[in-house]
Structures are given as structure tokens and as C-alpha cells.
Amino acid sequence: MLRVKTTSNDRPTARSWHPSPAPRNAGFSFVELLMAAAILAITVTVAVIAYSTIASGGRRAGGGLAVTLPSGVAVNFYGITNSVVAVSAAPAYGETVRAEGMRNLLDTDLARSVAVFCLARNDISTVRPSTVTLGVNFDPRTNASPAGFRTLLGTGASTFTDYPGSANSLTNTSLFILQASTNSTSAKVLATYEADFVRTTSPVGTYASVRRYEGATLTYYYHVFYEGTNAHNFLPPVAYFERSVAPATSTNAIDRNRQAAGIPFYFLWWPDPAVVRLHETNSAMPSVATNLPRAGYSQMADRTSLFFVIPAYPAL
């Protein structure tokens, strides 16, 4: 399109000109309104379906619950007098982050340790020493086993039960991590880790708690609640492997676990907040000959991601 311009000498000249777009009223066109309505409808439909799935499923990932613990448990674990604790029901993915934090703490403590002992029990424990008395002229090589360490705990020894190989009849564990000490008659305890499973009635299920103490002071924990009436079979929570002294062909639980060539070690399992149930086992696992150490813990396959191989006495 051409537009005529008059110059000062009144001679018309021509120049190219692009007209400005026609003015447009504020608002949306019919097509835009139609698209917005369609997107809204899809969003609402997806939200309704998601809500219906959660409501009908009866299980919410990380759903918070008020769980009533048996008398004395909460004060023993956390130093609180209220027996009702707020805990997430499994699968609790947020609590998995705290469990990973506990794993990192354990790795750090093990790197600083001079000795590690894992004892097993069925009841709750108050044995969280800062030091352990060794006595005069004590030779640590004579007490390098869990049973040997248990004898050093005095009256607290009765809290624990010796286990041959795998602790298949004991539900809870206490892991004592020792560090270097300048006192020749006592050992210094860097940290105590406890893993406990407690049956509850309101609501019905199993409350699992893993905690770290320095002396009697709670420093870290994670916990999770597994709903259901089935008693858990998270067994064994620990297995101990002694130094090999002879071919391990016996069906005896102690003999078949004498597999450690140079240094004894533990297999340790902690509850996994991301696992839905404790009582589920891997039915596809093949049977294991009774003369093999796996016969004592094969049922723990795929039960938890929190599985550890821990040297029993790094200093030796």
C-alpha cells in the first residue's frame, strides 16, 4: 500500500508503509476458551481418579498414624512419657531418607572403630554404656565374639541371649561400636545402635524403630509402622561368622558359620521403611542345604535394602 506525503516544496513522494494491526478488544477468543475448558476438565478428571484410587486402596504412602506403644517402650526408646507416637505407615518414603542418614552415620562410626559386637535379644534394652570394664591384664583376643563381649556387661548381660550363627529366634539387636581408649582397664563405647520390633494393638501392627545412642543419649533414629495382624518374621536380624577352623560341613549352626578366613564378621539387617510388609518372604528362593550357612538366613533375601556386612573386630 502507498501513502502520499507532501514535501516542503509541495512535490508528492511515495514511500512504503506497513499499516498497524487493527485494534483488538481485551479477552479470549472462543477457541481459547474452549481449549482452557478442555484442559480444566482433564485436570479435574485425573484428580478425581487419583483420589478415588487412594481412598479405595486403604493404604497411603507415608500416611501418618498415632500409634500407641506398650507401657514403658516410648520412655525407653526416646525418653518421652507419652506412649502415643506419630509415625508414618509403610511404605514411608520420607522416612527412607532418615534411614539413609542412619546408614551414613553407621559407616562413619565403623570407620572410627577398633571393635564391633552385635548382641541379640527379645526384650527392650537399657544397656547403653559409655565404657565397658575390661579388668587388669585383659587380652581382647579372648573375648572377640558376641558371647565373649556379653560377659563384660555385668548385670546387663542378662538382657541378651547368645545365638549360634544366625539369631533365628531373637527379634531385636544392639550393636556396640568401640573406639580407642587410653585406659588399659576399660573400653570406650563410641555408639550403640538398637533395632527393635514392637507389636501394637492400637492400631494393630508392628512398630519398628532403629536408634543411635552415645552413652544414654539418643542422637538419631528412624521408625516406621507396618499395619496388619500378622506377626512379623523379620528373622534373623543378625548372623555371625567366626574364623574358619575346619571345613564347615556340619549342620550345627555354629560350625557351618565358621567361614571367616581371617577376620570374623556380621550380616546385619535393619527394617526398610520403603517395604510394605515385614512378613512377606521371597517364595521364589530355592531351598538351601542345611550344612550351608545360608540355611540360617536365606529367608531374608530381598527383605530390605538396609543390609550390612560388618567386621566384628577390625583391630585384629
Nearest to 242 by CA among 229, 231, 228, 256: 256
Decide which of 302 and 96 is more confident. Answer: 96
State the average pLDDT over residues 125-144: 87
Among the residue ranges 51-65, 91-105, 251-265, the one predicted with the least confidence is 51-65
The predicted structure's pLDDT at residue 25: 52
Contact 310, 265 (CB under 8 A): yes
The predicted structure's pLDDT at residue 166: 93
The predicted structure's pLDDT at residue 280: 64
CA pair distance 261, 289, nearest whole angstrom: 21
The predicted structure's pLDDT at residue 250: 61
Q: What is the DSSP letter of 161?
A: B
The model's pLDDT over 178-220, given as tens digits with 9 standing for 90+, comes to 999 888 889 999 999 999 999 998 999 999 999 999 999 999 9
- The rounded mean pLDDT for the chain is 81
pTM of the model: 0.77
Nearest to 86 by CA among 60, 66, 63, 61: 66
* 311 CB-side CA count, 13 A: 16
State the average pLDDT over residues 52-60: 35
User: Given a cut of 50, is residue 4 above it in pLDDT?
Assistant: no
**Amino acid at position 22, single letter:** A
State the average pLDDT over residues 159-174: 95
Decide which of 73 and 42 is more confident. Answer: 73
Most confident option among 233-237, 256-260, 295-299:
233-237
Residue 181, classed as helix, strand or coil, is coil
State the average pLDDT over residues 80-97: 95
The predicted structure's pLDDT at residue 52: 37
Among the residue ranges 31-40, 77-86, 140-149, the one predicted with the least confidence is 31-40
Q: What percent of the chain has pLDDT over 70?
A: 74
The predicted structure's pLDDT at residue 62: 47
**283 Rama sector, left if φ>0, alpha if ψ -120 to 50, beta otherwise:** alpha
Q: What confidence tier does 140 reach under pLDDT thresholds 50, 70, 90?
A: confident
The model's pLDDT over 262-312, given as tens digits with 9 standing for 90+, comes to 788 999 999 999 999 887 666 666 788 888 888 889 889 888 999 999 998
The predicted structure's pLDDT at residue 48: 41
CA pair distance 75, 251, nearest whole angstrom: 42
Decide which of 66 and 36 is more confident. Answer: 66
Residue 138, classed as helix, strand or coil, is coil
User: Given a cut of 90, is residue 60 above it in pLDDT?
Assistant: no
State the average pLDDT over residues 150-178: 95
State the average pLDDT over residues 3-22: 45
CA pair distance 247, 14, nearest whole angstrom: 108
Q: Return the number of other C-beta atoms located less than 10 Å from residue 146's C-beta.
A: 22
* 91 CB-side CA count, 13 A: 6
Contact 218, 126 (CB under 8 A): no
State the average pLDDT over residues 59-71: 77
Q: What confidence tier does 109 reach under pLDDT thresholds 50, 70, 90?
A: very high
Decide which of 286 and 158 is more confident. Answer: 158
